[in-house]
Amino acid sequence: MESNPYNLKTLDEKPSNYLDRDEFFNLLKKKKIPLADKDNLPRFAYTNNIKMHKLKREGSGGSTPTIYKIPSDSTLAEILINMKNNNNSMLGREILKKKKAKILEIFDKAQDQAESRTSIAEKVAQSLDVSCNRKLVKKVLDEHRSLDLEKLKKIS
């Protein structure tokens, strides 16, 4: 039985504005959108509202190939932004490591009572061009600098 979890329509031939699996994976790589492997492409496309279809396969062996509509540059930019701010994506996990390092760097450079959790979060967000909040700052500082927390400015 053929698997079609996304209820894709099967086409006889590939339209010119569609890419096969390898071409689509390479496009994402070229646009700096990292994915672990090609097996996750249908889920990635479905999650990001990228149109896809099945292509009638030749012969009886193997699975039915999936083809992907070429997304616009603005769609790709939006996907990249979403991935940067999602800690479950590959890119998001990389950014999270950078955020944690930046939080510690800002905290360590700060003079006593000069920074608050909010000001640290704002500086991290500005320097890395991603969202950052006080909760993450609190978590990182509690884990790594719990003995020095009196250095933070108290907001009353």
1-51 pLDDT per residue, tens: 457 788 899 999 999 999 999 999 999 999 999 988 888 899 999 999 999
Structure confidence at residue 104 (pLDDT): 96
Please choose, from the candidates 71, 139, 149, the residue with its C-alpha nearest in 3D space to the C-alpha of residue 100: 139
19 shares its domain with 70: yes
Direct distance between the N- and C-terminal alpha carbons of the chain, in angstroms, rounded to an integer? 65
**Which range of residues forms the domain containing residue 50?**
10-83
Residue where one domain finishes, among candidates 83, 106, 129: 83
**Residue 155 pLDDT exceeds 70:** no
Residue range 80-124, pLDDT digits in tens: 999 998 888 889 999 999 999 999 999 999 888 889 999 999 999
What letter would DSSP give residue 4?
Answer: -
Residue where one domain finishes, among candidates 58, 83, 108: 83
Please state the domain count of the chain. Answer: 2
96 shares its domain with 78: no
68 shares its domain with 108: no
78 shares its domain with 94: no
Contacts of 18 (CB under 8 A, 6+ apart): 53, 67, 68, 69, 70
118 shares its domain with 55: no
110 shares its domain with 69: no
Residue 18 phi, psi (nearest 5): -120, 155
